[in-house]
Structure formats: C-alpha cells, structure tokens
A and B are shown apart, each in its own frame.
Chain A
C-alpha cells in the first residue's frame, strides 16, 4: 500500500535556525505532493504543492520544498524559522484519483 513517511516527529529549533523536514513516499507512479500546516488551535492549511515542472516549489511564509523523484522525497525547508512557525506539518501525496495519503506529521517548536 502507498505510504508517506515523515522521519522527524518532534523538532525543536531556536529562532533564525534553518529548518528541513523530511518526507518520503512509496509510490511508483505519478504523484502530486503537498505540505500542510496546522497552527495551534487552527485548521489545516495548504503550505505548498507540487504537480509538475520545476521540482523546487516555493510556498507561503518563506517555505520551499524540493521534489527529488529518484529519492521519492519531498523535503520541506525554510532558511530561517520564526516563533510563529510553531505548528504541526504534514506531508501528503495524492494516490489515484484525488485520494490524499498523509504522513504522521512533525511537530515543530520554535523557541524565541
């Protein structure tokens, strides 16, 4: 079965540190890839997405992700995190017809 793996369950960083969250998927076909963010007490929001084209995707709030097909990866990055980036981050992949498969999520805590 298709699956999405997020290697880091909890990440703690200081403000201005760089961030990279890993995401790997197991599916050999054409994929659409997403990162969602859930801020404390808020609902799930789309951070960025990849459908095709340039494998380096830029999203909101300075986040970017790189699709590396050979590694089945779609890692999320931000050069300098802020306290307001404290949230839970979910990687997701569409499988078949718009069915989203989510990773287990990574809780990011940014200390001021």
Chain B
C-alpha cells in the first residue's frame, strides 16, 4: 500500500483565481493520477501525471485549465486555473502500486475539497 497526503485538505476560492493542490506519496511510484469528484457524482479521471514529461489528459480536460507537474516519483501538483463555481469539487490524487501476483492496485489520497464562490 501507500500513504498519500494532499494539501490543502480544503479551500474556498474566488472565481478567476488559481489553486495548486499538492500530492505527496511515502514511496516512489511510477504512475500517479488526478481525479475529480463533483458534488453528487462519481470520480472522473482528469489526467495521468507522468514523471519527466507532460501529463496525459482525458477527454474534456486541457493543460491550460489543469496544469500538472510531476518533478519526481513521490510528488505531483495539480493547478485549477481561472476557477469558476463549476470547478467546485473534490480533487483526488491516486497512485498505482504493484500488488501481489504482479497485479496493480490504485490507492487514493484523502482529497482536496474546493469551493469556488
């Protein structure tokens, strides 16, 4: 397993501003992901954070809106840029760990609850 921490745990922001969320893992991991969980909805993958290269974004998400950094194998940041109330969500960091038998499992951080006014 992995211990994942996120900062901040929650924030209230004004529209038009940007917020950077940090994700720290207690061990080196190859793959890290960023998800969004909008109120009353399920989790949606935003992007895969690649170490040493640009993140891979899912359909509907773009780098200008959600820039991601992955400077090393234990840390990543997600920025929510030019925020609007529609960006109010829980943002979760996730890591992929190789489990028993070589099968991979994803573990999730505690999430960052963002409210945009």
Contacts and interface: CB of A to CB of B under 8 A. Distances in A.
A46 B44 CA distance: 17
**Range of interface residues on B (Cβ < 8 Å):** 20 to 34
Given A98-B31, A104-B42, A105-B42, A43 B104 contact: no
Contacts of B41: 104-105
B54 interface: no
A99 interface: yes
B42 A90 contact: yes
A43 B103 contact: no
B14 interface: no
Given A42-B110, A44-B43, A104-B41, 13 more contacts: A36-B108, A43-B111, A44-B92, A46-B105, A46-B106, A49-B105, A51-B103, A98-B104, A98-B106, A99-B45, A102-B43, A105-B41, A105-B42
